[in-house]
Structure formats: structure tokens, C-alpha cells
Amino acid sequence: MATFISSPATDRILAGLRAGSFRNIVVLTGAGISTASGIPDFRSPGGLYATLQADSLTASPQEKQYLKKDPTGVVDIRIFAQNQFPYLEVRRPFILGTADQKWKYTLAHAFIGLLHDKKLLRRHYDQNIDGLSHQVDVEPSKIINVHGSLQHVYCEACKAPYPLAEFREAVRTKIKNIYGEASEFANAPAESEHIKCLQCSRPAVKPATVLFGRSLPDAFHEGVEKDFNTQENIDLLIVAGTSLKVHPSAGLVDMLPASVPRLVINLEPVGEDLVIDYSPDNARDGFLKGYCDESVLKLLEALGWKDELAAKYAAGMCDKSRATLLGDK
């Protein structure tokens, strides 16, 4: 399904990668780079927002009404501050699945690992909280977890930390399963019970991920300062698997001089409001339309990098990505 569109911009980017002229590449990613591993994205038809069952949540009629109208409310401080349950109930299988290392990295993550191995990666700005970008061999300082991490837990009210293992156990035993018997994490209480802060006792404990209405981690702003506001220029921006609907991360695509090429790898065009140009004759913005893994495979083949990536990363990647890479679909 990947369409390798030859355009002046895509050809220029490929030629630059082949010649080794891009040595300061920034990659901005979103949920679409992880869907091959089995984690749904947010805004696609089968994504978290479209499939949200507000009536199954422990919430007031007003909260349910709000979430039916705007499912992004489930990751918004305005709902969480008054009721911890919608977030924790929706996120229960994700929190427990991550703890059990249920999901493995994709071909797209491995490609970023390869860029790092080749010393071409300036920074990976990852909007995902699934931790898969840390499963490939990229120095932690090169990865900015734009929307925080599931590896730390704290009280959203007083910021006191909460022990990770205890939090996972509390989610398992105190938060009900809204995903039916089919969920592998179905063994859950019939009703949800609060998980309270060990310091202030408020029911505001959650993973250290960014809710709408909250600021991004300092690491994001520090990274932007280092990467986008210096003389040592970024020479290529790769944008993969993100709808570019959420700021400030989406705004990164608009922070570079017009001379810096951008390569979008996505199912559909995104960021047209951010002036990404999809006209076939534009010289700046390349577009690989289709599944990330398939586009990455075509890139690897065009660059002659496939065997190198396979030797290091095929064994550990998710089954679907490995099948794409090795051609045994």
C-alpha cells in the first residue's frame, strides 16, 4: 500500500541521504509509527477517540455527555481533576500491557535506531508514551518524550511521586475493566476504587504523561532551544505517523528555515495548515504515502540499508513489522 511517490523533493531527500549530506536529522513521530505493534492511534476510525465507550466509564452523566461530544476529554486535566476514573479505566490495558512489555518496536522505530547508529540522528521528538522508541538502540538523550512517560507515576495535584510497581498493582486490582471479557486483563474488580496520593491523599495519581491543559515537560522546551534555535542547523526533518493536530509539538514543522527539506511518512497528507506542501512539483516537502513500515522498507531498499537494519533489529521487532521487513506476509 505504500506509494513511493517520486517528486523533486522526495528525490532530493533520497539523494541527500544516499550521499550522507544530512547529518543532523530530526524525527517527529506520533501514534502511527506504533500501530503495527498493535497499539491503536488516536484519531483514525479504530483509534482511541472513535472507540471510546463513555457509558461504560465510572463518570457522572455530565462527564459522560462531555466525553461523547469530545472524547479527547479523557486525556484532559479538566475531567481528570474532578474524576480520576475515566482516564485510568480507558488506559488500564495500556498501562498493564506496557508493564508486561506486551508491545515490541516496529520497522519505523528500527529505522530511527539505524539513523542513530549512522550518527545522523540529531533528535527524536516522540509524542508516544508507549516507550517503544526506547526499545531500539538510541541514546536516551536523543529522545524527547514530548507527552511524558508511563515509566514514572505522580500525583497530578501535588506532584509527589508514586512507586511504579505499586501503581501498576493498584491499577490491576482497583480499576475496573471496561473492555469486556475479551480483554486479557479482564481479571479486575467489578467497581473502580480510587488510587490516592501517598502524600496529599487526593485521588489524583496517574502516570507522568501530559494531559491536555498541562504544559509539556521541560525536556521538550530545552530540546527545542538546543535544536531549533542554534546555528548548528538541522538539515532534514522526518515527520512520521502523526496527524500534526496537537501543539506545540506539531509546530516544530514550521520552525525551520524554508531551505530545510521535510519528509512526511503517513497514511494521508497532514499539516497542510502548517504549510507542508503536497503539490507534486514542490522542491521542499517529500511525501511517502502509506503505512510507515512499508514506506520505511522502500526507503531502506532505495538506500541499500535493509540488510544492515535487519541484522540488528529484525529479531526483536513486532511480528507484523518483521513480516514486512522479511517479505513473509
Could you give the residue numbers annotated as active site? 147
Task: Report the C-alpha gap between 274 and 237 in whole angstroms.
Answer: 14
Q: Report DSSP state, residue 97.
A: H
Paired sense of beta strands 205-209 and 148-155, if any: antiparallel
Q: Does 41 bind ligand OAD (CB under 6 A)?
A: yes
Residues 160-199 within binding reach of ligand OAD (CB under 6 A): none
User: How near is the Cβ of 70 to ligand OAD at its closest, in Å?
Assistant: 11
Q: Which residue, 204, 208, 226, 205, is CA-closest to 216? A: 208
Q: Does 67 bind ligand OAD (CB under 6 A)?
A: no
Cβ-based nearer residue to ligand OAD, 174 or 214: 214
Q: Does 127 bind ligand OAD (CB under 6 A)?
A: yes
Cβ-based nearer residue to ligand OAD, 197 or 270: 270
Instruction: Please give the full DSSP string across 215-272, using - where no structure is assigned.
Output: PPPHHHHHHHHHHHSSSS---EEEEES----STTGGGGGGSS-TTS-EEEEESS---G
| Single residue of 96, 171, 246, 296 touching ligand OAD by CB under 6 A | 246
Cβ-based nearer residue to ligand OAD, 70 or 166: 70
Q: Residue 252, Cβ neighbours under 10 Å: how many?
A: 24
Cβ-based nearer residue to ligand OAD, 43 or 202: 43
Q: Report DSSP state, residue 147.
A: T
User: How near is the Cβ of 187 to ligand OAD at its closest, in Å?
Assistant: 27
Instruction: Please give the full DSSP string across 114-128, using - where no structure is assigned.
Output: HHHHTT-EEEEEE--
Q: Residue 139, Cβ neighbours under 10 Å: how many?
A: 9
Cβ-based nearer residue to ligand OAD, 24 or 131: 131
Query: Taking contact as CB under 6 A, which single stretch among the options 26-34, 155-163, 300-308, 320-328 is the one that binds ligand OAD?
Result: 26-34
User: How near is the Cβ of 24 to ligand OAD at its closest, in Å?
Assistant: 24
Contacts of 97 (CB under 8 A, 6+ apart): 103, 185
Query: Taking contact as CB under 6 A, which single stretch among the options 33-41, 117-125, 188-196, 226-234 is the one that binds ligand OAD?
Result: 33-41
Residues 78-117 within binding reach of ligand OAD (CB under 6 A): none
Query: Taking contact as CB under 6 A, which single stretch among the options 42-50, 151-159, 185-193, 199-207 is the one that binds ligand OAD?
Result: 42-50
Cβ-based nearer residue to ligand OAD, 84 or 242: 242
| Single residue of 9, 14, 30, 94 touching ligand OAD by CB under 6 A | 30
Q: Does 263 bind ligand OAD (CB under 6 A)?
A: no
Task: Report the C-alpha gap between 308 and 290 in whole angstroms.
Answer: 23
* Residues touching ligand OAD, count (CB under 6 A): 27
Q: Does 210 bind ligand OAD (CB under 6 A)?
A: yes
Residue 311 phi, psi dihedral angles, 5° rounding: -60, -35
| Single residue of 109, 147, 306, 322 touching ligand OAD by CB under 6 A | 147
- Would you say 107 and 320 are in contact if contact means Cβ atoms under 8 Å apart? no
Q: Does 136 bind ligand OAD (CB under 6 A)?
A: no
Q: Residue 226, Cβ neighbours under 10 Å: how many?
A: 13
**Residue 124, strand partner residues:** 27, 143
- Would you say 85 and 175 are in contact if contact means Cβ atoms under 8 Å apart? yes
Residues 276-305 within binding reach of ligand OAD (CB under 6 A): 291-292
Site residues, ligand OAD (CB under 6 A): 30-32, 35-36, 41-44, 47, 72, 75, 127, 147, 210, 212, 241-243, 245-246, 266-268, 270, 291-292
